[in-house]
Amino acid sequence: MPKRHSKRIFKKTARPHRSPVKKTTPPKRLFEEETGHRLQKILAVAGFGSRRHCEELIEQGRVEVDGVVARLGCKVDPVQSEIKVDGERLKKTKPVYLALFKPKGYLCTDRDQQGRARTLDLVPSSFGRLFLIGRLDMDSEGLILLTNDGALSERLTHPKYGVPKVYRVQVAGELTQDSLEQLRKGTYLAEGFAKVSDAVIKGRHKKSTILDITLSEGMNREVRRLLARLGHKVLTLIRIAVGPVKLGKLTPGEWRHLTRQEIDRLFASNSSR
């Protein structure tokens, strides 16, 4: 028998009248989740210390945004919002990134009770508070980076990032390839094990050797102490590079602004570590 096809009849029912939906703009949230910058980064750029230290300030309830105690991880528009730390309004500062040729005889310190010359004295005070990146002892010279960006300062000084620093060194006596290999293998100093990432002889002058030494982690006067273990006194020591930034044509006491490309490459330095 042929199959019977039943037809279903649906009655049209009147739909209730609905007024058109009125689109409303959601109220502006105090702490934006998708826009703005993380609060700890803003504080770090303003010179309140490393990003971790700024996180601690927020966790301790010492930071307010538009009159409300901030929470860790919030994003804020520093142009639109009023930010206070310990009740004091945050001044809007422009990020500063400088390269400086530190001469001999200058101290890499924020304060000196004896009133000796400081590296910070070589740049205009109008820049405000600056962090010194890659300190050099008084007898050494060469490239120093300065910034008010605490996040970049932390990245360039924390050992886990291993940002390489290159030194042009002249030592008394004649270094051999065996000596270079000993520098690469390393030795124990008072603070722990130390070694160079690379060492290359660049030339010889009378009874001295000129070489380039690369460090990824630095201890106090590390280059001088490692070479002293090999019986060689350092005659001159000039830092010629910090990561992608080169000393270039700067002369002692001279400074310049970093380029946008240099800044981006510094932030990207060993980010995969």
Per the annotation, the verdict on 212 as an active-site residue is: no
d(CA 99, CA 245): 8
Per-position DSSP letters for the chain, written without gaps between them: -PPPPPPP-----PPPP-PPPPP-PPPPPSSBSSSSEEHHHHHHHTTS--HHHHHHHHHTT-EEETTEE--TT-EE-TTTS-EEETTEEPP-----EEEEEEPTT-B-SS--TT---BGGGGS-GGG-S-EEES---TT-EEEEEEES-HHHHHHHHSGGG---EEEEEEEES---HHHHHHHHH-EEETTEEE--SEEEEEEEETTEEEEEEEESS--TTHHHHHHHHTT--EEEEEEEEETTEE-TT--TT-EEEPPHHHHHHHHHTTTT-
Pick the catalytic residue: 77, 110, 121, 137? 137
**Which two structure tokens, joined as six digits, stand for 123?**
């740049």
CA distances for 195 relative to 12, 135, 176, 181, 192, angstroms: 85, 18, 17, 10, 10
Positions marked catalytic = 137
